[in-house]
Structure 1
Amino acid sequence: MPRLFTAVEIPADIAFSLSLLRGGLPGARWVDPENYHVTLRFIGYIDDRTADEVATHLARVKRPAFQLQLDGLGAFGSRKPHAIFAG
C-alpha cells in the first residue's frame, strides 16, 4: 500500500542551494536534492488501484509557473524531529 502525497517539483538550482545547508546533525539521513519538493497535500496510505487513479488524474493537471519565496528553515515530528523543511 503506497503512502501518497501531492507535490510540486522545485528547480534544480534551488534544490542545489538548499542542499548546501545540509550537515551538522549527527545521525541525519538526507534526501537527495533531485527529490526535494513542495508538498501540497498528504493523502496517506491508499491501495494501489486508487493510487494509480489519482496519478492518472493528477498527470492531466496543467498550471502556470508561480513564484515562491523561502524565508527560513523549520522541523516537525515528535520530541525528536524527523523532518526538516524550508518554508
Structure 2
Amino acid sequence: METTTAAGITPGEMLLLSSARRNVREVLNHPAFPAERRQRAEAVINACTDAAQLLRWKQLALRECEAWEDAELIKEANLLGPAAHPDYLF
C-alpha cells in the first residue's frame, strides 16, 4: 500500500515527477536556451505537478533545439564559401 505525501502525491508519482523535471532541465541546458530563459523556466518546472505536462514541455523544447541546430548548420554552411577545388565537396 502506497502512502501519500502532504501534497497528496504517492512516492511513485513523486519519482515520476522528479524524473520528468530532470528531463526537462537536461533539455533546457542546450545552447538554444539562454540562461535567463532557463531561470524563468525553473520556477514553472518546480510549480508543475503534472508529469505528462512536463514531458510535453520537454518535447516542445526538443523541437526548439532541433530548429536552433538546423539554423546553426545553415549559418555554418553559408560561412564556408566556395570549394577550394571543384572535386572537393567542402
- TM-score normalised according to structure 2 size: 0.24
- TM-score normalised according to structure 1 size: 0.25
Structure number with greater Rg is: 2
Relative to its length, the structure with more strand (as a share) is 1
Return the structure number with greater relative CO, CA threshold 8 A, min gap 6: 1
Relative to its length, the structure with more helix (as a share) is 2
